Amino acid sequence: MRMLNRNELFSVKSKWGSINYFVNDYWFTRNGSAKIFEEDLILKYLKKTVKGSRLALDIGAHAGSHTIVYKALNPSIIVLAFEPQERMFELLKHNIESQSLTNVTLFNFAVGHKIGTTTLDTKIHDPGEEILLSYDSNVISNLGGVGFGPGGERVSIITIDSLNLESCDYIKIDVQGAENLVILGGIETITRFKPVIFFERDHSALSTNTLMSLGIEQPLPDTLAMLRDIGYSQLIQLDDNNYLASFYRDFRASTILWRTLAFKRKLDLRNRVRVFFGY
């Protein structure tokens, strides 16, 4: 790994402690040197969940913004943080170690639907612009916008289910259009522990070629549909890009929900048969 150059970094000294971002990483430095990225959102919507959680997954951890605030809110929480970009992982590691945070385990992996390898994109695709990926240039960029795609660094993929977790209370997912792949690869863990899930759902989408390279040859349900299907009835849109999903924990209500879903599937099947046979 390449050593970090202090001239490449922008330091934020917040009430949660210090964190560094790459100096050209606009979305993470635009609030100036006093606030960690998304700290207001965390305090408004996630504080209660984080304080009540024993184990959390930070998937798409970037430089560690969420992990650092989670640990400040709940020092005893165990956080598993995943970041596939090698340079960004280097920065994540630096930020966590500089605060001497304990019970934080870092993984230089992508998280997806199966164990394997793939490549990251060489470009960042934001609405109305396409920029070549660069960590240390003067080109203003969105380094949190790096997703799966052709031509970039090769990364390893693991799944949530492959972690064989003994508990899981909360999951944050920000993976540039691959959120449904993360859910697919964690379906057993999620249905078993029913964690609260905070996830991004924006303009990002994986291309057909990228999906095929990952072994996916047919369209997948989007993240909202996938979570509804496994019983997450409380799906709240927090802002333009972020959602919070909670499982309906009341047994009777949950049973009614599953019966309703089963009836809906039977009705959909009956309607498809009628259309096919023309009656």
Q: 15 with 111, same domain? A: yes
Q: What is the pLDDT of residue 275?
A: 47
Question: 41 vs 216, 255, 268, CA distance in Å?
Answer: 33, 32, 38
**Pair (151, 276) in one structural domain:** no
The rounded Cα 8 to chain-centroid distance in angstroms is 25
Instruction: Give the span between the Cα atoms of 141 and 124, in whole angstroms.
Output: 8
| Tokens describing residue 232 | 């997450």
**Residue 253 has what pLDDT?**
39
- Can you tell me the distance from the alpha carbon of 273 to that of 234, in angstroms, rounded to the nearest whole number? 31
Residue 1 lies in a domain: no
Residues 62 and 18 in one domain: yes
Domain assignment of residue 241, yes or no:
yes
Question: What does 216-273 look like in DSSP terms, one character per residue?
Answer: --SPPP-HHHHHHHTT--EEEE-SSSEEEEE----HHHHHHHHHHHHHHHHHHHHHHH
Indicate which CATH number applies to the domain containing 110: 3.40.50.150
CA distance 210 to 115: 16
DSSP 171: E
**Residues 6 or more apart in contact with residue 29 via CB below 8 angstroms:** 10, 12, 21, 23
Q: Which domain holds residue 129?
A: 6-247
Both 178 and 152 in one domain: the answer is: yes
Q: Quick one: 159 and 191 in the same domain?
A: yes
Which pLDDT does position 6 carry in this prediction?
A: 74
- Residues 201, 118, single domain; the answer is yes
Instruction: Return all residues near 171 (Cβ < 8 A) that are at least 6 apart.
Output: 56, 57, 59, 160, 186, 190, 195, 196, 197, 198, 199
Residues 61 and 193 in one domain: yes
Closest-CA residue to 177 (of 125, 227, 217) = 125
Phi, psi of 71 (to 5 degrees): -70, -30
99: left (phi over 0), alpha (psi -120 to 50) or beta: alpha
171 with 35, same domain: the answer is yes
Query: Dihedrals φ, ψ of 63, to 5°?
Result: -90, 0
Residue 78 domain flag:
yes
Number of domains in the chain: 2
Q: Which residues of 139-152 are buried (b: 16+ CB within 10 A; e: fewer)?
A: eebbbbbbbbbeeb
Give pLDDT, residue 267.
53
Q: Which of 81, 55, 67, 80 is nearest to 193 (CA)?
A: 55
Q: What is the pLDDT of residue 37?
A: 87
Co-location of 153 and 237 in the same domain: yes
CA 38/CA 19 separation, integer angstroms: 13
Domain shared by 149 and 272, yes or no: no
- d(C-alpha 146, C-alpha 163), whole Å: 24
Structure confidence at residue 274 (pLDDT): 52
210 in the same domain as 186: yes
In terms of domains, do 197 and 274 share one?
Answer: no
For residue 249, the model assigns a pLDDT of 56
**pLDDT (tens place) for every residue of the chain, 279 residues total:** 566 777 789 898 888 888 999 988 887 887 676 788 899 999 999 999 999 999 999 999 999 999 999 999 999 999 999 999 999 999 999 999 999 999 999 999 999 999 999 999 888 877 777 888 888 777 788 888 888 988 899 999 999 999 999 999 999 999 988 999 999 999 999 999 999 999 998 767 777 888 888 888 877 888 999 999 999 999 999 998 899 999 865 434 344 444 444 544 555 555 554 544 454
Separation of alpha carbons 10 and 6, rounded Å: 8
pTM score > 0.95 for this model? no
